[in-house]
Amino acid sequence: MKYIVDIAYLFGILAYSPRILYRMCRQDRYKEGWDQRLGKIYRKNPDKSCIWIHAVSVGEVNATRTLVSKLKEQFPDFDILITSTTDTGLARAKALYEKDLNVSYFPFDISWVMKRAFVNIKPAIILLMELEIWPNMAQICQEKKIPLVVVNGRLSDKSYPRYRKIRPITKWMFSKATSILAQTEEYARRFIDLGCPADRVQVTSSLKYDTAQTEGPVPGAERLQEQIALGDNRLLVAGGTGPGEEQILLDVFRELKKQTKFEDLTLAIVPRKPERFDEVAQLIENTGIKFIRYSQLKESDSVTDQKPTIFLGDTMGDLKKFYAIATVVFVGRSLVKMGGSDMMEPTGLGKCTLFGPFTFNFKQTVDVLLKGQGAIEVQNQNELLEKSSKCLIDHDFADTIAQNGRNVIQENKGATQKTIEIVKSILHTGKL
């Protein structure tokens, strides 16, 4: 089987290589970490047993925060390794953990590369965030009797049909997992349908509820408010936006600003992908509206001496600060067919939150938020204009939505402790 998988990878690499080269040259990506991607991963404390956690990108890395904290507390004699696939995911992992944990790129799942990684890492258990089971990794885990656990497991409406098309392969892979810890009953049924033995699947809810802050100040938010000279002005924050969405937001903002009741309104746009910062800056510049890139203020730790009406959040790790000082939040990648961005963070902070109809990556969260009247779904640009206007004007309405959203997040916490108990059981017994 491994030779078939390796041959498939070879053809995949050949097909994908032009895109890799383009991104290396034009987007400054994939330039670092090739030794780690080829399995040369070394730990700070190689004599300790190791818990290996793999999180694909930024969202999955953020979801590890409470889990890692509890693992450090419950297993002080273990070394912890965090791996990520994307450049942004690794940057986030380094920002969170590099001081005291091992952080690395995820090795390619080519048989000889993965074998080299296992020799260097010597994992006692592997925790895969959300879905990331890889064939050669799964095979080596089975051969070496290393527990392989999918944590915070989910199969979205978009990915599930794709996996069903290759069900023989997914059945082979999932049969090698020690346990699947699914976010919802629906996701659990999907894992079982794809071939995971039912007795290995449990529902634990989502770790992201636990990582969502619901109390206390957000570090750096007060300074951000000073830097952009917000004062008593209202702030509409569009976070995690995607291609085609920023123009919609700019059009909505211009319509709002035509009304005298929104003279004090400020807009902050924070694109999800850093390689799009310049593109979005050009879009804003084309409107003729005065704007400032937040990176200019952050790098010099200065306060703006201008009075712009738009801020471009072109730095990494600051979206939560923008959410914390927002009057109303729009969560991006949801008015375009990209699956949405994390709406737990702004709702947990008690912000009146809106998002579009394309949220298949966060289906469970959207369902419970809408059921609890803790967020507002808009279908198009006109509805975004209408609903954001209402939320900015009707403070009682906005406050009710915000409080409901925070309540929903608080009510769904608890996945971290459930996950820790299961991991503890597996480490002590080798099984559930």
In a domain, 324, yes or no: yes
Same domain, 125 and 186: yes
Examine the domain organization and report whether 185 and 225 are in the same domain.
no
Same domain, 226 and 178: no
- How does pLDDT run along the chain (432 residues), one tens digit per residue? 665 776 666 666 666 666 666 566 666 666 678 899 999 999 999 999 999 999 998 889 999 999 999 999 999 999 999 999 988 899 999 999 999 999 999 999 999 999 999 999 999 999 999 987 899 999 999 999 999 999 999 998 888 999 999 898 889 888 899 999 999 999 999 999 999 999 999 999 999 999 999 999 999 999 999 999 999 999 999 999 999 999 999 999 999 999 999 999 999 999 999 999 999 999 999 999 999 999 999 999 999 988 889 999 999 889 999 999 999 999 999 999 999 999 999 999 999 999 999 998 898 899 999 999 999 999 999 999 999 999 999 999 999 999 999 999 999 999 999 999 999 999 987 554
For strand 291-293 and strand 266-271, is the pairing parallel, antiparallel, or unpaired?
unpaired
The pLDDT assigned to 376 comes to 98
In this structure, the answer to whether residues 121 and 249 fall within a common structural domain is no
Quote the crossing angle between the two packed helices 395-411 and 381-393, to the nearest 10°: 100
- Domain containing 80 equals 28-205+414-429
Q: Are 407 and 345 within one domain?
A: yes
Tell me the three state secondary structure of residue 200.
helix
What's the predicted TM-score (pTM) here?
A: 0.83
Amino acid occupying residue 333: R
Quick check: is 424 in a domain?
yes
Residues 267 and 169 in one domain: no
What pLDDT sits at residue 13? 61
d(CA 383, CA 356): 9
Contact status, residue 328 vs residue 349, Cβ threshold 8 Å: no
CA-wise closest residue to 391 among 342, 334, 353: 353
pLDDT of 14 reads 63
Residue 236 in 3-state DSSP?
Answer: strand
Rounded Cα distance between 339 and 356, Å, is: 10
The pairing of beta strand 266-271 with beta strand 201-203 = unpaired
Asked, for residue 17, whether it belongs to a domain, the answer is: no
Tell me: do 253 and 123 sit in the same domain: no
Find the distance separating the first CA and the last CA of the chain, reported in whole Å. Answer: 28
Give how far the C-alpha of residue 210 lies from the chain's centroid of Cα atoms, to the nearest Å: 14
The verdict on 199 and 260 lying in the same domain is no
Between the alpha carbon of residue 336 and those of residues 273, 340, 381, 422, the distances in Å are 15, 8, 11, 38
Return the amino acid letter for 198: A
Alpha helix positions (H), 166-308: 167-174, 185-193, 207-211, 221-227, 246-257, 277-287, 294-300
Query: For residue 2, what pLDDT is reported?
Result: 63
Residues sharing a CB contact under 8 Å with residue 237, sequence separation 6 or more, in sequence order: 267, 268, 270, 322, 323, 325, 326, 328, 329, 330, 346
In a domain, 361, yes or no: yes
Assess whether 227 and 193 both reside in one domain.
Answer: no
Residue 120 and residue 86 in contact, taking contact as beta carbons nearer than 8 Å: no
CB hemisphere CA count around 229 (13 angstroms): 13
> Are both 374 and 420 inside the same structural domain?
no
- Residue 61: partners with Cβ closer than 8 Å, 6 or more residues away: 55, 82, 84, 89, 92, 93, 96
| Pick from 194, 56, 189, 73: nearest CA to 127 | 56
Q: Distance between CA 49 and CA 323 in Å, rounded?
A: 39
Q: Are residues 193 and 89 in the same domain?
A: yes
Residue 4 neighbours by CB under 8 Å, 6+ apart: none
Q: Supply the CATH number for residue 342's domain.
A: 3.40.50.2000
Does a structural domain hold residue 193?
yes
pLDDT number for residue 24: 65
Cα radius of gyration (the chain): 22
Which residues lie closer than 8 Å to 350 by C-beta, 6 or more apart?
214, 402, 403, 405, 406
CA proximity to 111, closest of 8, 11, 19: 8
Residues 6+ apart with CB under 8 A from 49: 77, 78, 79, 122, 124
Residue-level pLDDT at 32: 77
**What does the alpha-carbon distance between residue 155 and residue 150 come to, in Å, rounded to a whole number?**
12
Q: What residues are paired with 179 via a beta bridge?
A: 149
| Residue 212 resides in a domain | no
Q: What pLDDT, on the 0 to 100 scale, is given for residue 321?
A: 97
The answer as to whether 229 is a domain residue is yes
Residue 432: predicted pLDDT: 47
> Is 284 within a domain?
yes
CATH classification of the domain holding 159 = 3.40.50.11720
Number of structural domains (the chain) is 2
pLDDT of 412: 94
Q: Are residues 252 and 341 in the same domain?
A: yes
Alpha carbon distance 75, 369 (integer Å):
34
